[in-house]
Amino acid sequence: MSSIAALCLLACTSRADAQVIYTAILSGAAEVPPNSTTGTGSATITYFPETSMMIVSMNFTGLASGTTSAHIHCCTMNAGAENTAVATGVPSFAGFPAGVTAGTYANTFDMSLASNYNPSFVTSSGSVAAALGRLLEGMGNGTAYIDIHTIPFPGGEIRGNLVEQPIFRSGFE
């Protein structure tokens, strides 16, 4: 193998392993208990292990009333069948739009900082590092979910369990 091909292989592998992506489709049917909202949405969480940075991107439409909060909950015992405590910042993601029935959201969080978590999630985990490990495990095994809350649905109007996406690998590996 030429040194150029080896360098490309190393660069392609490093870039693929440099992030972990989780996605969710949000609906009222996924809430516990389910509701009949016409609201829908999607979320993508991109986590960068080397820097502990996490990008939260969401879009949503058709909510029954204006938003009140949005965050990630972790970790249920039975994926999709129960509710659990908020893991990320409370009452909502920083900068999440309030009072809207449709919109988009994107923000980057340094997950090595306690301020990006619910304090009780950090306390129950034992440390910020343990909270991060617990959150990543929950997002990886489907026991963490993201939801958007509104006034008529204070427990959450639309929700989706986060699912880790496979890493695309080129044929060079």
List the domains of the chain with CATH numbers: 19-164 (2.60.40)
- Looking at residue 78, its pLDDT comes to 87
- Looking at residue 29, its pLDDT comes to 97
Residue of 161, 135, 6, 20 lying closest to 80 (CA atoms): 161
Q: Judge residue 13's burial from the number of C-beta atoms within 10 Å of its C-beta, 0-12 exposed, 13-18 middle, 19 or more buried.
A: middle
Q: pTM higher than 0.85, yes or no?
A: yes
Structure-derived torsion over alpha carbons of residues 102, 109, 128, 137, reported in degrees to the nearest 10: 60
- Looking at residue 17, its pLDDT comes to 59
Average pLDDT by stretches of 10, the chain with 173 residues: 39 61 98 96 98 98 98 93 95 97 98 98 98 97 97 97 82 51
